[in-house]
Structure 1
């Protein structure tokens, strides 16, 4: 039977469940739950022209794609295409059809340069290159055994520093937005991103069902959030660090390590047994911090780029 590709229907529970399942099987180091899948579709900023695509064969969802533009980029026309096919259902044309559908959608909305994360395996890389994409930077997925691993001891904050959680900012999250925007702009990447839209951040990031406000730790100096470690949880046993960073004025004081250690200890106490995170391969300082915590690299992905037109 022919593979078909269509947009995910957020009102149909089976669509989001199928999307999350394929993502979990294809990339088990990334967290995906149906509620977050639906949230991304229904709350995406209009300027992203975001699509969640599904590939079906014999009525079964076997492939997915996340497709959109990056409106925060200073350079217009930046788009992304992240395709994942169930490893037991490759070689049926689902990946190629997802890529073609995604590229047509993005080109129609002005994309001139496409970026795609591809797992670092010969078959995946050959697929990307056969579709006109060239390799760029690399990044690592890391895993920590929270149930049986040994975390560094909990640290008392230094004088003048207090530890809080994102939940403490529920009434006014803007200080967390400002910290996230500053630290995100300094992350290594193929696209320079500047977050300025507070309302979009509230909707897309702060209200994402994956974000665990209680387990997100914030180091505060003189009343100002100075560093944080954002936690994602799946409602089961899996925990992931979505972002860890320090405002420029407070770097070099170990505050990001302090916040992440606090979050990890509280996640383990809450019953989470696996912790995941990701780092750009060129981000030596964060890789060193994660090694100190006991994380091991469990997979690598490569950013591929294609110029359109």
Structure 2
């Protein structure tokens, strides 16, 4: 069966919902909605050359890719192409066509290197290696049963520490931007990231439709943000933490664990029953924290890389 690939029309409700449907089927441990798909396209940084690709078979959307340049990396020419085909439509040519289309787009945008997350399964890894990609670092997806599992009890913050929801920063989110930038810069990764564009962070991160400011928790030390756990929800019973971390000057005090525990308790009180997160396999401290909460590894991805000729 012949597949065709074209750029997604995020303003088309059928396109956006089809894209989100495939992502949920391929990665059930990541949150996606038609609204978030359209939002990501509308608020992409111009220097990212961001494009969503969709593969169709007989009019049905069966494959997706998020493609772009890592514009916030200090290293030039770094591109990414994360390709996912619906599990029921694999090994029919759609994935190979998306990869070729993605690489052509990235080459035109000036990429010299392409990174791609690949599920750690024999067929997926073989697919990447057939297309000239070599494995690099890996990351785990983790799941916690919020409905039936027992959470650690809430703890009283130590003297000088206060826990507040993300809504406390709605008038001025800039202190959270500074904290997010510092924490992100220290995340284990193949590609360094530097947040310097506050306006873009405000548009794409703070105003993202999946971000739950109500369930995000920030730990204040002497009134200033020192640690946080950023939460997302998709309108169902699912909750995800997309970043949890502590400012360098306050590490080793358990503040990230304190913030995440508060967020998880409020998520459960709000009726959410599944919690997801992800960690680089080399991020021992965060993996230990999530194990303490009761998270279990539910899948692993390997980051593959290819140099474009």
The reply to whether TM is greater than 0.5 is yes
Distance in 1 (CA, whole Å) between partners of 2:183 and 2:44 is: 22
1:112-147 per-residue CA deviation (whole Å, 9 max, x = no partner) reads: 010000000000000000000000001000000000
Distance in 1 (CA, whole Å) between partners of 2:267 and 2:258 is: 14
Partner of 2:147: 147
Partner of 1:9: 9
RMSD value over aligned CA atoms?
A: 0.6
Q: How does 1:172-251 map to 2 (within 5 A)?
A: 172-251=172-251
1:236-288 per-residue CA deviation (whole Å, 9 max, x = no partner) reads: 10000000000000000000000000000000000000000000000000000
Matched, 1:52 2:46: no
Distance in 1 (CA, whole Å) between partners of 2:77 and 2:166 is: 33
For residue 178 of structure 1, report the CA deviation from its aligned partner: 0.4
Matched, 1:292 2:292: yes
1:21-50 per-residue CA deviation (whole Å, 9 max, x = no partner) reads: 000001101111111100000110100000
Distance in 2 (CA, whole Å) between partners of 1:257 and 1:88 is: 39
Q: How does 1:23-42 map to 2 (within 5 A)?
A: 23-42=23-42
Matched, 1:62 2:62: yes
Greater than 6 Å deviation, 4+ residue runs? none
Q: Partner of 1:213: helix, strand, or coil?
A: strand
1:132-175 per-residue CA deviation (whole Å, 9 max, x = no partner) reads: 00000010000000000000001111100001111110111000
Partner of 2:167: 167
Q: Partner of 1:22: helix, strand, or coil?
A: helix
For residue 308 of structure 1, report the CA deviation from its aligned partner: 1.1
For residue 11 of structure 1, report the CA deviation from its aligned partner: 1.5
Q: Partner of 1:261: helix, strand, or coil?
A: helix
Distance in 1 (CA, whole Å) between partners of 2:51 and 2:169 is: 31
Distance in 1 (CA, whole Å) between partners of 2:2 and 2:138 is: 34
TM-score when normalising by structure 1: 0.99
Which moved further from structure 2: 145-154 or 8-17? 8-17
For residue 68 of structure 1, report the CA deviation from its aligned partner: 0.4
Q: Partner of 2:211: helix, strand, or coil?
A: coil
Distance in 1 (CA, whole Å) between partners of 2:166 and 2:52 is: 28
For residue 289 of structure 1, report the CA deviation from its aligned partner: 0.2
Distance in 2 (CA, whole Å) between partners of 1:44 and 1:237 is: 28
Give the gaps of 5 or more residues in structure 2: none
Give the gaps of 5 or more residues in structure 1: none
Q: Partner of 1:88: helix, strand, or coil?
A: helix
1:211-259 per-residue CA deviation (whole Å, 9 max, x = no partner) reads: 0000000000011100000001011100000000000000000000000
Distance in 2 (CA, whole Å) between partners of 1:294 and 1:248 is: 26
Equivalent residue pairs, number: 309
Distance in 1 (CA, whole Å) between partners of 2:92 and 2:232 is: 33
